[in-house]
């Protein structure tokens, strides 16, 4: 797999777990998906949910971007 993607669920306030099973809070525990898998999962979640939630129900996020943001936040907290 090239660049792995994580999937953030606005509906559940958590990351999709590995193998499309459950939801997890930590990026380290999240499932890794190909770009095509992540896009398909997120597209499948839109009908009926987009209007109800007022946001994309599921959002594909490059793992590298999530990790970089967390590192930046941790650095900010450390002062």
Instruction: Read off the pLDDT of residues 38-62 as tens digits, 9 standing for 90 and up.
Output: 999 998 887 766 666 667 789 999 9
Domain ranges of the chain: 5-78
The pTM for the full model equals: 0.84
Instruction: Read off the pLDDT of residues 16-45 as tens digits, 9 standing for 90 and up.
Output: 999 999 999 999 999 999 999 999 999 888
Q: To the nearest whole number, what is the mean pLDDT of the chain?
A: 89
Would you list the DSSP string of 25-79?
SSGGGS--B-HHHHHHHHHHH-TTHHHHHSS-SEEEEEHHHHHHHHHHHHHHHH-
């Amino acid at each position: 797999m090239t660049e792995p993607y994580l999937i953030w669920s606005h509906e559940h306030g958590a990351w999709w777990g590995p193998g499309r099973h459950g939801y997890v809070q930590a990026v380290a525990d999240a499932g890794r998906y190909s770009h095509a898998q992540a896009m398909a999962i997120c597209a499948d979640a839109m009908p009926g949910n987009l209007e109800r939630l007022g946001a994309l129900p599921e959002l594909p996020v490059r793992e590298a971007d999530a990790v970089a943001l967390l590192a930046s936040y941790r650095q900010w907290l450390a002062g």
